Amino acid sequence: MRTILIVLWTMGPFGCGQAPASTADASPAPAAQAPVASSELATAPAIPVLGSVPAAPGAAPTQAPQPRTAAAQAHPLVVDPPKVDFGAVPPGARKSTTFTLRNPTGSPLKIIDAKPSCKCTDITPMKGVTIPAGGSVELQATLAVPRTPGKKDAKVMIVVEQYGMTVAQMEATATLPIMASPEYVEALKGVASGTFTLAAGDGAPFNVIGSWGLPITQAQPGAKASHSMTWTTAGVNGPLPQWVVVATDRADAPLIALRIRHESTGTLFDKDAREARQWFFADPLVVAGRMDRGTKQQLELDLESTNPAARRIPLREGWNAVTGATCQLGGFVCTLAESKLDGDFVRVKIDFMVDKAPSGLSVVPVTITTATGSGVIPVAVLVP
């Protein structure tokens, strides 16, 4: 028997978590922040639980199963290979592989359920598939890597009748020629400052020429293969942005994005408006890269449903009907090119043009509107 299972994975910012419902209609556009010089840069499925079985009238009571020994706890379904690591891949890449699910036992194994670890993973239903004794089925998987750098993983949890759960895993690291370490800004639990390093994988020197999101400084400006950067939240009023963006003079890595981890970001960012309109941005940043004035490119972004039906919340009609895209910063022009429903996602394409924008790093608030409300996504662009 040959069974095909497709896994699509994009790592959104909110994972599968859902924020409390609210009545807000739209989130406010983030204020544009001006770049500055580099010397002082701008600011499971439930596993069946076995227990005793009540005895029939007149019959001797059955005994609850005894705990299995460590040697007996190996899952009978063999996932081959158990994990696939695609290694370093470009942001936004799609990588495919095939897992073989083997039944080496002398009895059939029935898959009673198979669920993704996150809604960002899409799978073909496997419920009810039986693998014969000594047989196997194939699980084909495609990993859709996010458009921002960093390590991501995806899992498919497979529950087998009488034996519980086993897992097929995939991992990839979205990599640019210049990478940040750590890949995020850790501002949780009152942490107000910290450091990160930008390093070129090939050892070639580069300059840091601007930043956005938080105040950032570098100890020793100049062309180097590695830069030590210091960030602070001092002087930032209101909620923190979700990202820090750093600009370099390297043509193949003009913009480096680091996610900000803070109590006001992640699942809490834009939560009221998100619940009201019943969608959010699967990747809450678009990196347009380096663009000359007068040029245009088509940018892609995904809207993801908040899945109100799973929480018994009435679905609002039109959440997936995209009606417009607008740039909220002068010198840039945005128009809606295309939108297409794909399960719990809407794949959106916008035409983004640099018109009379100033030179340097800009993060442009772009408003996406549907019939149920609007949301704002930042687009990072470096204009020579």
What digits encode the pLDDT tens for the residues 118-141? 665 667 777 889 999 999 988 887
Q: Give dist(CA 115, CA 112) in Å, integer.
A: 10
Q: Give dist(CA 153, CA 307) in Å, integer.
A: 22
What digits encode the pLDDT tens for the residues 358-383? 999 999 999 999 999 999 999 999 99
Chain-wide mean pLDDT for the chain? 82
Closest CA to 352 of 376, 375, 335, 365: 335
Domain 272-384: assigned CATH number = 2.60.40.10
pLDDT at 119: 62
Which CATH superfamily groups domain 77-174? Immunoglobulins (2.60.40.10)
What digits encode the pLDDT tens for the residues 260-307? 999 989 888 899 999 999 999 988 999 999 999 999 999 999 999 998
pLDDT at 51: 35
Query: How far is residue 226 CA from its own chain's centroid?
Result: 27
Residue with the bigger pLDDT between 1 and 349: it is 349
Looking at this protein, which amino acid is placed at residue 227? Answer: H
Highest averaged pLDDT of the listed ranges 22-31, 129-138, 324-333: 324-333
How far are the Cα atoms of 41, 127, 149, 284, 325 from residue 257, in angstroms, in the given order?
15, 40, 7, 11, 23
Query: C-alpha angle with apex 294: 174 to 322, nearest 5 degrees?
Result: 60
If pLDDT is split at 50, 70 and 90, which confidence band does 25 have?
very low
Which CATH superfamily groups domain 176-269? Immunoglobulins (2.60.40.10)
Provide the H-helix boundaries in the chain.
271-277
Residue with the bigger pLDDT between 135 and 58: it is 135
How far are the Cα atoms of 80, 190, 248, 286 from residue 227, in angstroms, in the given order?
42, 25, 11, 24
Does 272-384 match 176-269 at the fold level? yes
Lookup: tokens for 299 = 């940018």
Domain ranges of the chain: 77-174, 176-269, 272-384
Q: What are phi and psi of 311, to 5 degrees?
A: -110, 15
